[in-house]
Each structure stands twice: as C-alpha cells, then as structure tokens.
Amino acid sequence: MSDFALSLPVSTAPRPWRFPAWSTALLLPALGLVLWLAAARFGWLAPNMLPAPQDVWLTLQDLASSGELAQHALWSMGRVAQGFTTGAGLGLVLGIGMGLWPRFEALLRPSFLAIVQVPVIGWVPLLMLPLGIGETLEIVIVAKAALVPVTLNTRDAIHALPRPLLEVAATFRYGRLQLLRRVVLPATVPPVFTGVRYGLTSCWKALVAVELLASSEGLGYLLVWGRQMFQMDLVIAGVLLIAAIGLIFDTALAAIERRLQRWRPA
C-alpha cells in the first residue's frame, strides 16, 4: 500500500468550524415545524387539510390521558410480537434446514419463492375468505413478513460459513462445541440478526397495512377512524406514532447489530 496515502493530513489549514451533526440534522425538521405553525397561524391551508401542530399535540395528549393510546398501541404491539415470534422462529428453522440440506432446500424453494412473490397486499384479501377478518389473519400476515428475510438470511449465513476458517479450526483440533462457539456462531449470528432486523421492520409495515385494510383496533385503525371522521389531527397523530415506533424499533436493532459486528471493518 501507499504508505500514508489515505490518512488525514495534520498541518493543512485548521478545519473550518462546523455546526455539530445533531444541530444540522434538526435544522430541517425545525424549519418544517415553523412552516407548519405559520401555515396554521396565517390560515394558508384549511384546518381540515392541515390542523395546527398544537391541535395535533392536544389530540396526542387526549389519546394518552384517556388510555386509548396505550390500548391501541398494545393491540398493535401484541400482534407484532406474536406474528414476529412465529414468523422469525419458523424462518430460523427453515433457514437452517435449507442451509444444511440441499434436498430440503430443493423441496421448499419453489413454494417459498411463490410465497415471497405475492406481497402482503395480495395475501390480505385472499386469506380474508378462509380466515375471516380478525386476529388470525393479522398474525399470519405479520408472520409472513418476518419469515421471508429471516429464512433467506439464515440460509445465506450458513452457505457463507467461511470454509478456510473451518479448516483452521480443524487443524487446531477443535471439538464440535468449540467449533460452534468459536467459529460457527460468531460467523452466522450477525447476518442472521440482520435478517431479524429486516423482519421486525417489515412486520411493523405489514401490520400497518393489514390494520388499515381489516381491523377494528390498533394504530392503523386509528388512521382509518380519523379519516372517516374527518379528524385530520387524529390522522396526523396516528402517523407520527407509527413513524416513532418504527424508528425506535429500527434504531434499537441497528445499535445491537453494530455491536454484534464491531469486529468488522467499517
């Protein structure tokens, strides 16, 4: 390699002072909020198009104090939890099976691809007839959303097990348990976890879709209700809540993922 080709020079002119990252990041949302406040204050848009931020805030407070917020959020989270554990658990089993036994993969691959190919939006009306509108439908749909990425990532992680490292382990005469603990798990856990993370994110997105289409409670239903009642503040509050929960899921899992992969080069 070129000796220091890509390292940073010290003595070129001092770096210009720059706003810290969080402040630039918040600049745009702050600007948006100011515009929103102004639009409401000066009546640029009718309140039924865009209610004032304080109205949305009040609605959120109402939802929180009446317990409705917790109730709907619990419904939604409960469905995600059930669907996700079912889907991810099945995905792990299928992925390990497909990764270890080629004939198992050959058996399930076409059916699996067919299932993958049809999106949530197609499954909902199809399954609605045999399953009816209700909890089962929603959990099946959410489970399918988790199943796909977890299965694929688990299978790929097993396929991608570094053979050269297994050979290194063999030369040190590692036992089965040592092999599992020192080589197989460290190599497979991070990619599998990536699948889990995608799985949980898509569970949340699928849940919103299914709650919009076929549900009578949950955060998605809150949107439907608000829309039917022309309560725009409720709709916006609902969207904010859905976004916030999605963001929290993803940020938390991304942090865990980074920890699992910290030995990798950036």
Partner 1 sequence: MSAALSARGVVRRFQLDRREVVALAGIDLDVAAGEFIAILGASGCGKSTLLRLFAGLDAPDGGEVMHRGERITGPSLARGIVFQEHRLFPWLTVRQNVAAALLNAPGPASEKALTVQALIHLVGLHGFEEAWPHQLSGGMAQRAAIARGLANRPDVLLLDEPFGALDALTRARLQQELRRIWQRERTTTLLVTHDVDEALLLGQRVVVMTPRPGRIACILVLPPDLPRDHANADFARLRTQVLGILDAADPAQASLRTLIPETAA
Partner 2 sequence: MSGSLPSRWLGALPPVALLLAWQGAASIGWGDPRLLPPPGSVLVTAWARLADPGLATALGVSLGRCLAGFALGAALGLGFGLLCGLSGAAARLVGPSFHALKNVAVFAWIPLIALWFGMGEEARLAFIAVAVVTPVALNVWEGIAGTPPLLLEVGAAFRFSSWQRLFRIRLPAALPSILTGLQLGLIHAWLATIGAEYFLAKGTGLGGLLIEGRDRFDMALLILGVVLLGGIGMLLNQALWRLAVRLTPWRTTPA
Query: Footprint of partner 1 on this chain (CB under 8 A)?
Result: 1-5, 7-12
Rounded CA separation 52/76 (Å)? 27
Minimal distance, residue 66 CB to partner 2, in Å: 21
Residue 124: Cβ within 10 Å count: 21
CB of 130 to partner 2, least distance (A): 6
Judged by CB, which is closer to partner 2: 98, or 150? 98
Integer angstrom CA distances of residue 156 from 93, 100, 105, 119: 13, 10, 12, 22
4 binds, among partner 1, partner 2, none (CB under 5 to 8 A by kind): partner 1
Among residues 9, 16, 29, 164, the one that binds partner 2 under rule CB under 8 A: 29
> What token pair was written down for 230?
């022309």
Q: What is the 3-state secondary structure (H, E, C) of 172-195?
A: CCCCHHHHHHHHHHHHHHHHHHHH
Asked if residues 153 and 210 have their Cβ atoms less than 8 Å apart, the reply is no
* Region binding partner 2 by CB under 8 A among candidate stretches 7-15, 151-159, 167-175, 223-231: 223-231
x-or-dash string of contact with partner 2, 56-95, rule CB under 8 A: ----------------------------------------
Sequential DSSP letters for 81-117: HHHHHHHHHHHHHHHHHHHH-HHHHHHHHHHHHHHHH
3-state secondary structure of 166: helix
Which residues are at the interface with partner 2 (CB under 8 A)? 6, 21, 24-29, 48-49, 102-103, 106-111, 114, 117-119, 121-123, 125-126, 128-130, 201, 204-205, 207-209, 212-213, 220, 223-224, 226-227, 232, 235-236, 238-239, 242-243, 246-247, 250
